[in-house]
Amino acid sequence: MSLGGNMAMKYAGEERVLAPEIKAVIGVSVPCDLHSSLKELMSTKNYLYSKRFKKHLVEKLYPKQKIFPDNISLSDISSIRTLKDFDDIYTSRAHGFKNALDYYEKCSCRQFLPNIKIPSLIINAKNDSFLGEECYPYNEAEKNPNLYLRVPEFGGHVGFIAPSNIYYSEKTAIKFIQGMV
């Protein structure tokens, strides 16, 4: 789900031979464009969430700093004010990118969606406040017969609450898989 969905779609669309065990890919609330999603996360409507999320991420850096003091300093950690700062200071460096923007550009799955060759489903709700317009790959889904995009009106970010504890995302994923059998 979410960032994991982005990673799965990117993996499926990269120019590589997929393991034969991988028959399909399903992503829920997929930030297909990481920079677009970051802008939404940092918008006023998501201020409290992004502040809490950043705090949680930064707290996880202190134990890492003790183990790898040459890779990240306490002053680096204390300079993190936003989620983008976190990606500039930690995420990008830890994974060999120049900076956060380089990471967002190279790791966003949207650019890889045209290359997907196995059945792949993205479920992104219209009211997902964490996804920007670029996270809804309508054109890619229209042009790639292996890419299915479902955009229900409601569902929020990984919500999709429905009556009787049957979630829209789960029901849709099951139907998708059953249609492949």
Confirm whether 37 is a catalytic residue.
no
Helix runs in the chain, H state only: 3-13, 34-41, 47-67, 74-78, 83-86, 92-94, 100-107, 138-143, 168-180
Which candidate in 2, 35, 85, 102 is catalytic?
Answer: 2
Which candidate in 33, 87, 88, 128 is catalytic?
Answer: 128
Confirm whether 128 is a catalytic residue.
yes
Confirm whether 78 is a catalytic residue.
no
Check if the beta carbon of residue 25 is closer than 8 Å to that of residue 12: yes
Check if the beta carbon of residue 130 is closer than 8 Å to that of residue 46: yes
C-alpha distances in Å from residue 3, one per residue of 6, 25, 37, 144, 167: 5, 14, 10, 22, 20
What are all long-range contacts of 140-143, with beta carbons under 8 Å and residues at least 24 apart? 140/110, 140/113, 140/114, 141/113, 143/114
Which candidate in 37, 120, 157, 169 is catalytic?
Answer: 157
Please give the positions annotated as active site. Answer: 2, 128, 157
